[in-house]
Amino acid sequence: MRIESLEPHQVFVFGSNASGQHGAGAARTAHERFGAVWGEGHGLHGQSYAIDTMSGLTVIAHEVTTFLAFAAEHPELELLVTEIGCGIAGYSPEQIAPLFRDAPENVVLPARFLAVLERS
């Protein structure tokens, strides 16, 4: 599902690089449409939330843990997660989806992540 617009309570969650160079894919969409800030590769900016997916699985796991804590602290937000790490970063849903196993209810995962979590 391609996200083209957001309601005021929704946040577009995308994979970034540590330096916040949002030049392609979901990162570009976040920058052009949802308030992602060039040069900021982590956290909430506008209606977007950047997760560094280009610095290895250990970093992704840490970033997702930080994101899930943020989500738990902000139940008023609906956080729409894209297939982070599964594009330019080169990971599979089988590698990334388990990181979201304990996501709060306000985190909306992509279908391929949900399928992996249902199988395991």
Residue 1 scores a pLDDT above 80: no
Task: Determine which of 14-28, 73-87, 106-120 has the lowest per-residue pLDDT on average.
Answer: 14-28
Q: If you compute the radius of gyration of the chain from its CA atoms, what whole number of angstroms results?
A: 13
Cα distances (Å, whole numbers) of residue 75 to 25, 78, 88, 90: 27, 7, 30, 31
Rounded Cα distance between 113 and 96, Å, is 8
Average pLDDT score over residue span 53-68: 97
The predicted pLDDT at position 23 comes to 82
99-112 pLDDT, tens per residue? 999 999 999 999 99
* pLDDT category of residue 86 using cuts at 50, 70 and 90: very high
Tokens standing for 115?
Answer: 């399928």
The predicted pLDDT at position 30 comes to 94
The predicted pLDDT at position 75 comes to 98
